[in-house]
């Protein structure tokens, strides 16, 4: 079992809709959770981080964390074509940070 799992996609969402990206992790002791966005050929950039159970909102983005179920999700409201990218989930585990392999999101006009 991979330590951090994401559906590779592609996930296709119509413009203006909500995109929902999911990530599960195996280490119950994980404390910090991150979402990065990566455009093709570019470096990852941080979108959000979350440490506590529940929701955290930042503009059109909402991160959701459920430690009991060991999943973290990212919701993107009012999806725009510029949101088309690969989204990487990252989780801390035993003093390391581990990345998932990413979900490719495509926003169709």
Partner 1 sequence: EAQVTQNPRYLITVTGKKLTVTCSQNMNHEYMSWYRQDPGLGLRQIYYSMNVEVTDKGDVPEGYKVSRKEKRNFPLILESPSPNQTSLYFCATSFASGGTDTQYFGPGTRLTVL
- Which positions lie near partner 1, rule CB under 8 A? 8, 31-32, 34, 36, 41-46, 49, 88, 90, 92, 95-97, 99-102
The DSSP secondary-structure symbol of 60 reads: T
* Least Å from the CB of residue 92 to partner 1: 4
* Least Å from the CB of residue 100 to partner 1: 6
Q: Which is nearer to partner 1, 49 or 71 (CB)?
A: 49
Cα separation, 73 vs 69, in Å, equals 12
On whether the CB atoms of residues 27 and 82 are closer than 8 A, the answer is no
* Least Å from the CB of residue 44 to partner 1: 5
The answer for residues whose C-beta is within 8 angstroms of residue 108's C-beta and 6 or more apart is 12, 13, 14, 15
Q: Which is nearer to partner 1, 28 or 96 (CB)?
A: 96
């Amino acid at each position: 079992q991979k330590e951090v799992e994401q559906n590779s996609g592609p996930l296709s969402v119509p413009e203006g809709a909500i995109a929902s990206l999911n990530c599960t992790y195996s280490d119950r002791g994980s404390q910090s959770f991150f979402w990065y966005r990566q455009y093709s050929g570019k470096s990852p950039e941080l979108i959000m981080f979350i440490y506590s159970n529940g929701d955290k909102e930042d503009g059109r983005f909402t991160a959701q964390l459920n430690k009991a179920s060991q999943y973290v999700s990212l919701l993107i409201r009012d999806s725009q074509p510029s949101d088309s990218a690969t989204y990487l989930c990252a989780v801390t585990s035993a003093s390391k940070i581990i990345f998932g392999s990413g979900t490719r999101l495509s926003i169709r006009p």
